[in-house]
Structure formats: structure tokens, C-alpha cells
């Protein structure tokens, strides 16, 4: 066979080997969605003081863990302090009883914004992108309509070089958020997580059809922290004046798994491409001589 034909065949083989290697190369894996069911009696609780304030609940789904805690912006109607609160777990989902709400009667154990502002803080064990939450609405004790669920949300990252475990990081975050007794508004949360909070509105009703799903996909920042609160801008421009009362039934977020290492077939393709290149180079040299 003439040498130029052999060279052409070798080049073709090299091209096929390269195409095979490219086709078998590992690509970015699809994001994995995780849903945590927060209602009922799943999960564990720890780390509370004698009154229950500051407790941290832990939930695991498909090997992914989230630690959840409650906060209340309290100290009377002026709401001057962001303080730890008791995060309760009920058949309808997670609710917050802050330090000004006593035993949490008259639905004040929900996530609400009557007099005080309630927050639920999620700390994931890895960076996550929030996708959605499911909430149950509760009677807001006096408004008409009497059920509303407008929320405020933040997403971002929290780190502490001295916290070597997920549990230690949760304690660090809890103590950090409760450290500023002069936090007179939500600006500190805005500065810590994403620069600003985002509002998700709900049309108030008198007869709710629980549960309700809220799409959180428009949150621009991902990270290991997600914060859900009863509307912190209630009764301001663009927000209604109805008190918001709800419990968080479930939360869904997604993460990007690591890109898998090169597969054996991919390595074989690279090897064939390398051999082919050597053969092609030798053929070209023979043709030139």
C-alpha cells in the first residue's frame, strides 16, 4: 500500500480516537434536588438553654443534612434585638416562639410578624441553591382576610475557621446572629447574606387551601445559609398590612455534585489518540524522506 494512503488512514484513526476521547470525557453532573420534610416528629433537637430558646433542629434527607434554628426580632414593639427563639416542630411544620411570645398561644408559635418578627435559619452541610418551600397558613388572629403568608428570604454563605464541624458551625452562626443587641433593622442580615433580602408575596385569603408551595428559584445567591421570615416589610409601599402567620412544612434545595474522575474508556481513548499521533508523525517523516 502506498505510504501516503497509509498516512491518510493513520490520520483518520487519530481523528476517531480523539473524537472517542472527547465523547467519553467526564462532564459536569446534573444538579441534585433534595427535599427535607420538616413536619411531624422527624429530625432531632439539641443545644437549647433551659427555656428552649436557641435550640437547633437537625434534619437529614438522602444523606444531606440541614440544621435549623429560630430567631425573633423582639424587645417589645420596637423590635430592637435579634434574639434566639424556640424552634418548634408540629404536624403543620416548623414554627417560632420568640422571647416575647410566652408559651406561644393563639398561633404565636408560628412564623409571624405581629409585634415581633420571626425568622427560620437553615444551615446546609454544603452549598445549596434554594428551589422551593411548602408552608401551611394559620389564622392571624384579627385581620380580614385572616390568613396570609408573605415572606422575606435571604441566601448566602457563612464560615468560621474555628468551627470544624457542621454542628460547631451552627452554634457559631446562632451566636453570631444573636450577638448584636442594637440591630434595629434587617440591614445586618442584608449585609451578611447577599446584600439584600427578597420578598415573595401571597394573596391573603379567609379560607386557605393548605399547603402552599413557594418558588424560591429567583433567589440570586446560593450558599450554605437560607433564611425565611414573615414579611419584614409589612405595611410598607408594595406590601399589604395583613399579618403573616405560617409554618414551614418542607424545604427543597439543590447542589452540584463533584465532577466524576476520568473513566477507563476515556483514558483508553486518550491512549489511542496518543499512539495514533506518533504513527502519523512517523508516516509524515517517511513521506518527506
- Asked if residue 159 and residue 129 are part of one domain, the reply reads yes
Give 67's strand partners: 58, 123
What is the domain range of residue 270?
A: 3-27+260-288
- Asked if residue 16 and residue 81 are part of one domain, the reply reads no
Residue-wise pLDDT for 9-61, tens only, equals 555 554 555 555 455 555 677 999 999 999 988 888 988 876 799 999 999 99
50: left (phi over 0), alpha (psi -120 to 50) or beta: alpha
- Asked if residue 137 and residue 44 are part of one domain, the reply reads yes
Confidence (pLDDT) at 19: 52
- Asked if residue 205 and residue 113 are part of one domain, the reply reads yes
- Asked if residue 193 and residue 135 are part of one domain, the reply reads yes
275: left (phi over 0), alpha (psi -120 to 50) or beta: alpha
This prediction has a pTM of: 0.81
- Asked if residue 206 and residue 158 are part of one domain, the reply reads yes
Q: Which residues contact 271 (CB under 8 A, 6 or more apart)?
A: none
What share of residues in the chain are helix, strand, coil (percent, to 5)? 20, 35, 45
- Asked if residue 269 and residue 188 are part of one domain, the reply reads no
Overall domain count for the chain: 2
Tell me how far apart the terminal alpha carbons of the chain are, to the nearest angstrom: 17
- Show pLDDT as tens, one digit a residue, over the chain (289 residues): 555 445 455 555 545 555 554 555 556 779 999 999 999 888 889 888 767 999 999 999 999 999 999 999 875 545 567 889 999 999 999 999 998 888 888 899 999 998 889 999 999 999 999 999 999 999 998 888 999 999 999 999 999 999 999 999 999 999 999 876 555 568 888 888 877 899 999 999 999 999 999 999 999 778 999 999 999 999 898 899 999 999 999 999 999 988 776 555 545 555 555 555 555 555 555 545 5
- Asked if residue 276 and residue 164 are part of one domain, the reply reads no
- Asked if residue 152 and residue 139 are part of one domain, the reply reads yes
Amino acid at each position: 500500500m502506498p505510504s501516503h494512503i497509509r498516512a491518510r488512514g493513520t490520520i483518520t484513526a487519530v481523528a476517531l480516537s480523539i473524537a472517542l476521547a472527547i465523547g467519553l470525557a467526564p462532564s459536569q453532573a446534573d444538579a441534585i434536588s433534595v427535599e427535607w420534610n420538616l413536619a411531624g416528629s422527624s429530625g432531632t433537637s439539641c443545644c437549647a438553654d433551659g427555656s428552649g430558646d436557641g435550640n437547633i433542629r437537625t434534619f437529614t434527607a438522602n444523606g444531606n443534612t440541614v440544621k435549623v434554628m429560630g430567631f425573633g426580632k423582639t424587645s417589645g414593639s420596637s423590635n430592637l434585638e435579634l434574639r434566639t427563639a424556640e424552634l418548634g416542630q408540629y404536624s403543620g411544620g416548623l414554627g417560632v416562639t420568640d422571647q416575647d411570645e410566652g408559651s406561644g398561644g393563639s398561633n404565636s408559635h408560628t412564623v409571624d410578624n405581629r409585634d415581633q418578627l420571626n425568622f427560620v435559619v437553615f444551615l446546609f452541610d454544603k452549598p445549596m441553591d434554594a428551589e422551593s418551600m411548602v408552608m401551611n397558613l394559620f389564622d392571624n388572629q384579627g385581620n380580614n382576610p385572616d390568613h396570609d403568608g408573605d415572606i422575606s428570604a435571604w441566601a448566602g454563605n457563612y464560615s468560621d475557621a474555628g468551627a470544624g464541624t457542621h454542628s460547631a458551625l451552627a452554634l457559631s452562626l446562632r451566636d453570631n446572629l444573636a450577638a448584636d443587641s442594637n440591630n434595629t433593622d434587617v440591614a445586618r442580615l442584608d449585609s451578611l447574606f447577599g446584600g439584600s433580602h427578597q420578598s415573595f408575596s401571597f394573596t391573603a385569603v379567609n379560607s386557605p387551601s393548605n399547603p402552599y408551595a413557594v418558588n424560591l428559584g429567583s433567589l440570586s445567591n446560593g450558599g450554605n445559609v437560607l433564611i425565611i421570615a414573615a414579611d419584614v416589610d409589612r405595611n410598607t409601599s408594595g406590601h399589604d398590612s395583613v399579618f403573616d402567620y405560617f409554618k414551614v412544612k418542607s424545604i427543597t434545595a439543590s447542589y452540584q455534585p463533584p465532577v466524576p474522575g476520568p473513566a477507563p474508556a476515556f483514558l483508553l481513548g486518550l491512549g489511542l489518540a496518543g499512539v495514533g499521533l506518533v504513527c502519523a508523525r512517523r508516516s509524515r517523516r517517511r513521506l518527506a524522506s
